[in-house]
Amino acid sequence: MYKKILIAILLLIISQVSNAKSCTKYKSCSELILDYPNGNFAGKDRDKDGIPCENICTSKEEIADLLKKVQLLKKNN
């Protein structure tokens, strides 16, 4: 039951994120990661330090943790 609710929430977030074009349009680092689950941030990391959209994502560790969570969700579905 919990898994189905989580999937529904993620699908809702993904549908809202799909229109995001620039870093300022993302509300959270999680939204960015859901839009780029493969870790290829398509120019969102302008200073090439491994942290895309530094206005919302704060560290490489945060990015790695969120990418792992997305991969686990995909694997379990």
**pLDDT more than 90, % of the chain:** 44
The pTM score is 0.68
Would you state the structure tokens that stand for residue 25, as one six-digit string?
């349009």
Calpha distance 23→54 (Å, rounded): 8
Q: How far is CA 5 from the centre of its chain?
A: 18
In the predicted structure, residue 54 carries a pLDDT above the cut 60:
yes
Residue 34: name the closest of 58, 52, 10, 57 by CA.
10
DSSP state of 38: T
Average pLDDT, the chain: 83
**pLDDT more than 70, % of the chain:** 79
Would you state the structure tokens that stand for residue 29, as one six-digit string?
């680092």
Give the angle subtended at the CA of 24 by the CAs of 66 and 50, to the nearest 5°. 45
The domain tally of the chain equals 1
